Amino acid sequence: MMMMTTGLFMVSCSSSSEVAERQEAKPLREHEKSFDPGAYRVAEQDTTTVVETETPAPETEEISWVERVRKIMGFRIQLHSTTNIDDAQEQLISLQSRLDSLDIVPARLDMSFDAPYYKIRLGDFLTKPPADSLRDLLHEHGVPEAWVVRDKVLQTVRERKR
């Protein structure tokens, strides 16, 4: 009985090494060789858009300004989250008209997809207190589902071009 168990153990160990060798010998397809997963990590990168405008000075020389829009970490107000895209689009339209009727200062309202959720978020705040103030105002005007979240926000920086 002992020899039979030992023999069975030896046979099972030897067959697993053959399977491992066969899996290593499998060739990679061409697209698998060139795949770079780092190219898909866009959220971690800093994106900057440059818009150049020229503003004439009171003197004869011209002053040029450069406006840079960049994404940095800040705060936004999440108004809705769902896994259904149709529901998210309906809520976006509904919330836009609701915010317009409240005469709230216009802020960026958009829908984003963070698998598996579609999220509707409002505003771009560099610090948390202004986001908390707007959230409280929304709660007072009948939007109880609003809450503050950390997210990438757009910041516009205007510099004098040299």
Q: Stretch 27-48: mean pLDDT, rounded?
A: 55
Closest CA to 130 of 104, 98, 159, 103: 104
What's the pTM? 0.59
Task: Considering only residues 29 and 45, tell me which one the structure prediction assigns the higher pLDDT.
Answer: 29
For the stretch 111-158, pLDDT in tens is: 999 999 999 999 999 999 999 999 999 999 888 899 999 999 999 888
Which residue ranges make up each domain of the chain? 45-161
How many CB atoms are closer than 10 A to CB 71? 18
For the stretch 45-96, pLDDT in tens is: 455 555 555 555 555 567 888 888 999 999 999 999 999 999 999 999 999 9
Its CATH architecture, for the domain 45-161, is: 2-Layer Sandwich (3.30)
- pLDDT score at 107: 82
Peptide bond into 116 cis (omega under 30): yes
Q: How confident is the model at residue 159 (pLDDT cuts 50, 70, 90)?
A: confident
- pLDDT score at 104: 75
